[in-house]
Structure 1
């Protein structure tokens, strides 16, 4: 042992110290093998990383069907995305330390009434709902894992029954059964269309199939409920209509009397068909959900998406003309009152989508046709949640709602612009003063991004009309001399007098032979 030890130690005679043992060749070979192994491992990792880049498109990110509101939008107007009266789904589920909202306590009684109205056993309805629960859970973010399957099913059951019962009572004029104040009903209507307050439509569909024998009844209720929020079907009466109808009525009474009699007979016959003994002669109606989805969708994912495709999408496509690459699109440089001075009028357009805007030029003026929009306390929240939905859902990068808000913002600078659009039936103002409506659109437009292709044709046509000097002069001349009958008669009499004077002067100078 000692000889072996001494043979591996050298003593330096100069410093009289022992040196380290002499390393043999075997450890050096091991180090080289380790280095080669590390290089091989790095090469494999590099290859996997490069392959992941090339195969990125083969594995697209799965977007949640009920996404969260993007942080940028939430930071701008956080109160517009939070419920005021009722929380639906897991995102805003009340915590134990949260104050109890009065409407939240009505979920159980309303669910009980929903079950009683269906006439079916609650166990049957609950078991049918359980069949779609796993699909419904996939609609939300991963942070809902705090709910187990049973808790999640109970939440979906109560919230789904609450939504369907609320819409049924509201649309069928049975608001007294809700046991809510008018203010609470208004807030619940708002809360049911928040992005983070949505319920998978599969849940609603499962419950309503147990409640209604004919789904057409439920479809009609949902259509009418969504129609309460944005667009109005009321076409304003123009100022000249009452005068024209009065004059026409006095002249046409003898002629129209037989027609009135015929209408009365038709009404009586139609009323008679409502009795049970004539029910075999009645036609059963078949009402579908009034929306225009993309080809691959057969059922909406939630109520907010249904409203989006119902009121925004299907008519918006015609207003998106492709812009040049790198172009910022065309801007609109004239507000509503300036358009009026240029001879451009506003006219209500009774279509399904509030984004369906058209411009129709004429010889001396033009007409902007836009669907009426209801403006009340919930409008800002509703429009911004639609913006959040189209931003978070990545709908082919089309920003239809944002573009519509910015288009309205370009038309509205102050209360005078709102008054012009309100008097022509484009804006139905339940908010109060016209300046509040102007502040609403001006405020929303500050933080939004528009689609460069949105309303390009409309903007180009309006700008061209306003920049035409000839048309502007012609309109001013028309406005000055033909704005009312008395001015027109005065101009006509003066022109006739001038012609007679010129004729008399001519024959005085050149008398006939």
Structure 2
């Protein structure tokens, strides 16, 4: 019995239906309305969050903002208490702020509604739904809590007394503010802090807590008639607000003029980036030193960009403490966000440093050169930290590929001299590493000389 044949019109309808579904998915990906509405507050990518050794750096320990980590901490009441302090100390009129946020939401709904819905599971400004006061005012509580923390982080005040919390717990709170999916939109902080100077001071405090002294200047506050801009193409411009605190920290680490840096790189503008995930194997500090390359601290560099010229590798100063893995791993996760086009500068820097550091001796060389400020217990802890973070793979980027090519060219042009220096370096490490090895070398040399003299006189005895 032959199978029943379907009418051709059925297949035509199925084909049209499939094409319509695919077209809708393409519009979802490329549509302009969607491009400006996608916030860069994403969940940590699964391939990073699932690594056991990284999980502690992606989960808040004290306060959870938005709904991504609701119920994961036991001290949520701190958040409400600090928000109350901020409202009282700044005489903030919550009802006025909420009204302004409501008007802003109506005016810029295409931008804000997806953000609110994503971060709080609901649109806090939906009048048709009874969502309760806690969720209704969730954004305000989160924003006020963050601003109070940043205000009281200044060295001239006593944060333990002001915030009623011990210093060890306060350190963990500041680490919570580094987590990618524990951020609040920066526009919210703008609404809650009308004073531009105070907001800039809060951001400076945030950076100084994590050892960054130079802070990017905030652009002026936009008027009501100006559009809210959410950057999706590239790293953004100087006249754009950061997306959140983690984005502001990234801007601070990349303060050096990127246009000037890339202008010095000889690569074709239309050259497509490499599709290979790789590590930048440049060589450890000891290997570079044995090859005649000197490593120095770049005192004039306020960013993570290294430079190489005339056999000298210049690196920026780097403070390594308990917050370092929180900073780097969350910045790497941020650069992996699907709606954030960037050149993987932080990820590449981490891979670059992991190549330079393999053993505690490499850390010691960098520490003695003033490049690494080690605030951990030992050089071994620093080496272990970078080796643990060395699992990151990124596509080849012009920035660090340029440094690698320069070092390779230096090797090729100085091969003979480098070989001699390498031998001399090995000899120095072998025979001159301590006074005892020097004494042993001199004794062995003297023994050879005396043996030679004795042999000479044995072959050529003096005439009687």
> Equivalent of 1:156, from 139, 158, 165?
139
Which residue of the partner structure matches residue 56 of structure 2?
Answer: 79
Whether 2:70 is the aligned partner of 1:93: answer yes
Aligned pairs for 1:220-299 within 5 A: 220-229=201-210, 231=212, 288-289=217-218, 294-295=236-237, 298-299=240-241
Distance 2:300 2:12 in 1: 66
Pairing of 1:95-114 with structure 2 (within 5 A): 100-101=74-75, 104-114=76-86
How far apart, in 1, do the equivalents of 2:113 and 2:235 lie? Answer: 23
The TM-score, its normalising length taken from structure 2, stands at 0.71
CA gap of 1:53–1:374, structure 2 versus 1, over 3 A, is: closer
Name the CA distance, whole Å, in 1 between partners of 2:421 and 2:328. Answer: 36
CA distance, structure 2, for counterparts of residue 217 and residue 55 of structure 1 = 41
Q: Deviations over 1:34-91 (max 9, x none)?
A: 9364355346446646866987875376443211111111112222110011111221
SS of residue paired to 2:250 = helix
Q: Deviations over 1:322-342 (max 9, x none)?
A: 587658689444210122223
- CA shift, 1:128, in A, is 3.1
Distance in structure 2 (CA, Å) of the matches to 1:330 and 1:387: 14
Aligned partners of 1:195 and 1:386 also within 8 Å: yes
Correspondence 1:210-221 to 2 at 5 A:
212=195, 215-221=196-202
For residues 313 and 395 of structure 1, do their structure 2 counterparts lie closer, same or farther at Cα, with a shift above 3 Å needed? farther
8 A Cα contact 2:44 2:181, kept in partner? yes
In 2 relative to 1, CA 459–436 (structure 1 residues): closer, same or farther, beyond 3 Å?
same
- Deviation of 1:353 (Å): 5.0
Distance change in 2, residues 1:464/1:288 (3 Å):
closer
Of 136, 145, 170, the match for 2:121: 145
| Cα shift at 1:417 | 0.3
Query: 1:164–1:57: structure 2 CA closer, same or farther, 3 Å change rule?
Result: closer
Question: Is the alpha carbon distance of 1:327 and 1:190 closer, same or farther for their aligned partners in structure 2, counting shifts above 3 Å?
Answer: closer
Change (3 A) 1:140 1:380: farther
Displacement after TM superposition at 1:173 (Å)? 2.5
How many Å separate the matches in 2 of 1:357 and 1:391?
22
Asked whether the 8 Å contact 1:194–1:385 carries over to 2, the reply is yes
Unaligned runs of 5+ in 2: 126-132, 221-233, 433-464
Residue 243 of structure 1 is matched in structure 2 by: none
RMSD of aligned residue pairs (Cα, Å): 3.7
Structure showing greater radius of gyration is 1
Match of 1:300 among 231, 242, 246: 242
For residue 315 of structure 2, what is the aligned residue in structure 1?
Answer: 370
Of the three residues 295, 304, 312, the one matched with 1:355 is: 304
Match of 1:337 among 262, 286, 293: 286
Give the superposition deviation at 1:157. Answer: 1.3
Q: Tell me, in whole angstroms, the C-alpha distance in 2 between the residues paired with 1:47 and 1:196.
A: 35
In structure 2, the residue matched to 1:197 is: 182
Q: Which residue of 2 aligns with 1:409?
A: 354
Aligned equivalent of 1:165: 148
Partner Cα distance (1:413, 1:36) in 2 = 66
What is the rounded CA distance, in whole Å, between the counterparts of 1:473 and 1:132 in structure 2?
Answer: 67
Distance in 1 (CA, whole Å) between partners of 2:21 and 2:94 is 54
CA distance in 2, matches of 1:218, 1:50: 45
Equivalences for 1:305-316 in 2 at 5 Å?
Answer: 305-312=247-254, 315=257
What is the number of equivalent residue pairs in this alignment? 385
Taking a change above 3 Å as real, the CA distance of residues 37 and 300 of structure 1, as seen in their structure-2 partners, is same
Equivalent in the alignment of 1:66: 41
Stretches of structure 1 that go unaligned for 5 or more consecutive residues are 1-30, 234-286, 484-513
Note if contact 1:345-1:368 (Cα within 8 Å) is conserved in structure 2: yes
CA distance in 2, matches of 1:143, 1:125: 19
- Contact conserved, 2:153 with 2:209, CA < 8 A, in 1? no
Alpha-carbon contact 1:377-1:431 (below 8 Å) kept: yes
Cα drift, residue 472 of structure 1: 2.4
Equivalent position of 2:455 in the other structure: none
Give how far 1:429 is off.
Answer: 1.0
Matched, 1:460 2:405: yes
C-alpha distance in 1 between matches for 2:49 and 2:198: 37
Call closer, same or farther: CA 1:44–1:359 in 2, change over 3 Å. Answer: closer
Q: Corresponding residue for 1:272?
A: none
Shift of 1:432: 1.6
